[in-house]
């Protein structure tokens, strides 16, 4: 559905900024410079160039003749610095680029006349400092070429700002590279080379993909309600308390329903700049519940462990999950959470803090998967050990059904997670193969997002179907009690066989 119906998930627009001249040097805070209605400077590298304090890099978003839409959901912007190398002003490892950023918006269409002036309203302003990471691009010297090439810097893109929603049609950027700090008056931007131009890059979600995505969420939300309610009724009519695994499956289904809730529709009617943070938090909550369910699901089939139906038995696994979620939540709030009030903020303003959170989360994630694999090993070892002893035919058949169901869910979990990872890494490769070999116009990226999203919904439905308490059994029975009963039977049979072997050995002696 996503590959055939939806367009690409995101669109990237790259524009070159226009150099406007401000003779007042920013003293008029209410004046906005539009690329089409300002006095322009043609070449910043000319000998008779303007004072850097008088240069304003101006850019309208989106391109002329287009307008932003609420369906675009968000806008992430980057800038790429193009600078010439000079020994007296060379970019060093500790060089900082200071930016005076001002952004305005307008909803004035001017009857479709793109050359008419618009009424601009200030959205925000900020002064930010970005560390530069640049390499000198050396030209190959040709003896027959008389033209002199000045070495240039190849710089990595720099984060400019991010908007969590796009309630306005047009946005205007006015950017300055000052030479003096506004408060202290100290010199800034001294080791940034000789600025030649700035490229502006904006990334938004396409409106067509948003519509397909929300339509899919609406359908899956309505569909998943049915098995969730059915599963809850099956648990509710039990005469016993539901087991820990039954509770975890129900909570997992509820968390998937929260993810399916098409709350993004709110941003198409109102200014919801908090939507990105909320979406990331509810997706993170689903992953936390999913990882907790995997631990409980595997642990409940560990037959050698007594009192399995308690969360305290999984304190190390759950502790690692909480650590990962806390680190990622701190990273999210330091990035997109702060951007709600300060769009130019980025967590990498403090690299040590950002790296500490990532290292902490990665370490806890590795610990979790190590403990999870250890649990899987113990379960299969226990199943293999118990399978050596004979049981009554009815109990043996029931034991095999439980183990078969466990293996099916294990294979389904591994396949779903593995397909997600494989599609993530092969997304671009698959797109190139389809276009080059089969000449088939499909959107692999859109298909990846919608396909994986639907796959996890199918996974939840299968869990609800396989582990719903059966109405054919007696009310007091359940998977936990069945496993305990089978475990006790196997232990009794094991003890009887060991006793028989001991008696035969005594008679032989």
**Contacts for 274 with CB less than 8 Å, ≥ 6 apart:** 164, 340
Residue 392 to residue 493: CA distance in whole angstroms = 10
Nearest to 234 by CA among 441, 6, 487, 465: 465
Predicted confidence band of residue 58 (pLDDT cuts 50, 70, 90): very high
Domains of the chain: 15-205 (no CATH), 208-500 (1.20.1070)
Q: 3-class DSSP state for residue 71?
A: helix
Among 145-149, 273-277, 415-419, 432-436, name the most confident range. 273-277
pLDDT at 425 over 70: no
Residue 18 to residue 31: CA distance in whole angstroms = 16
pLDDT at 185 over 90: no
Q: 3-class DSSP state for residue 98?
A: strand
> What value does the mean pLDDT take over residues 103-128?
81
Residue 175 backbone phi and psi in degrees, to 5: -125, 135
Quick count: other Cβ atoms within 10 Å of Cβ 395? 15
What is the model's pTM? Answer: 0.80
51 in Cβ contact with 71 (< 8 Å): no
Structure tokens at 440: 């088939």
Nearest to 252 by CA among 221, 213, 294, 219: 294
Structure tokens at 243: 């087991």
> What value does the mean pLDDT take over residues 112-127?
79
Per-residue pLDDT tens over the stretch 216-275: 999 999 999 999 999 999 988 887 788 888 899 999 999 999 999 999 999 988 888 899
Residue 304 to residue 66: CA distance in whole angstroms = 66
Which pLDDT value is given to residue 36? 86
Residue 1 to residue 450: CA distance in whole angstroms = 7
Which pLDDT value is given to residue 224? 95
Residue with the bigger pLDDT between 223 and 108: it is 223
Per-residue pLDDT tens over the stretch 149-169: 667 888 889 999 999 999 999
């Amino acid at each position: 559905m996503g590959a055939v119906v939806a367009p690409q998930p995101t669109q990237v627009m790259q524009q070159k900024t226009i150099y406007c001249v401000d003779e007042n040097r920013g003293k008029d805070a209410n004046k906005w410079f539009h690329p089409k209605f300002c006095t322009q400077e043609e070449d910043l590298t000319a000998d008779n160039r303007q004072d850097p304090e008088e240069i304003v890099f101006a850019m309208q978003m989106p391109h002329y003749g287009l307008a932003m839409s609420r369906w675009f959901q968000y806008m992430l912007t980057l800038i790429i610095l193009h600078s010439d190398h000079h020994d007296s002003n060379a970019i060093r490892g500790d060089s900082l680029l200071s930016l005076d950023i001002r952004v305005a918006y307008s909803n004035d269409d001017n009857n479709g006349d793109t050359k008419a002036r618009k009424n601009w309203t200030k959205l925000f302003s900020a002064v930010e400092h970005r560390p530069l990471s640049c390499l000198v691009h050396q030209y190959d010297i040709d003896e027959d070429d008389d033209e002199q090439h000045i070495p240039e810097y190849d710089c990595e893109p720099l984060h400019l700002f991010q908007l969590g929603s796009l309630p306005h049609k047009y946005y205007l950027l006015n950017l300055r590279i000052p030479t003096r700090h506004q408060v202290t008056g100290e010199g800034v931007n001294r080791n940034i080379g000789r600025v030649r131009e700035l490229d502006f890059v904006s990334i938004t979600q396409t409106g067509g993909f948003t519509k397909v995505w929300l339509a899919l969420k609406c359908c899956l939300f309505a569909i998943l309600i049915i098995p969730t309610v059915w599963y809850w009724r099956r648990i509710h009519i039990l005469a016993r308390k539901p087991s820990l695994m039954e509770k975890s499956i129900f909570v997992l289904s509820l968390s998937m329903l929260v993810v399916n809730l098409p709350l993004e529709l709110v941003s198409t009617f109102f200014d919801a700049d908090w939507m990105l943070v909320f979406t990331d938090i509810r997706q993170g909550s689903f992953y936390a519940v999913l990882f907790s369910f995997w631990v409980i699901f595997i642990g409940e089939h560990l037959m050698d462990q007594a009192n399995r139906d308690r969360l305290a038995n999984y304190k190390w696994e759950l502790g690692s999950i909480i650590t990962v979620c806390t680190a990622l939540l701190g990273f999210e709030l330091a990035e997109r959470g702060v951007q709600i009030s300060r769009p130019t903020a980025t967590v990498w303003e403090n690299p040590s803090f950002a790296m500490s959170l990532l290292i902490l989360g990665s370490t806890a994630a590795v610990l979790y998967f190590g403990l999870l694999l250890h649990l899987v090993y113990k379960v299969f070892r226990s199943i293999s050990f118990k399978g050596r002893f004979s049981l009554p035919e009815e109990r043996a058949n029931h034991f095999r059904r439980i183990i078969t169901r466990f293996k099916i869910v294990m294979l389904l979990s591994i396949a779903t997670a593995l397909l997600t990872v494989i599609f993530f890494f092969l997304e671009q490769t698959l797109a190139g193969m389809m276009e080059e070999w089969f000449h088939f116009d499909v959107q692999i990226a859109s298909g990846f997002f919608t396909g994986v999203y639907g796959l996890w919904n199918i996974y939840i439905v299968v869990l609800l179907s396989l582990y719903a308490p059966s109405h054919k059994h007696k009310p007091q029975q359940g998977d936990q009690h069945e496993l305990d009963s089978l475990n006790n039977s196997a232990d009794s049979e094991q003890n009887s066989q060991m006793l028989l072997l001991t008696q035969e050995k005594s008679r032989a002696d």
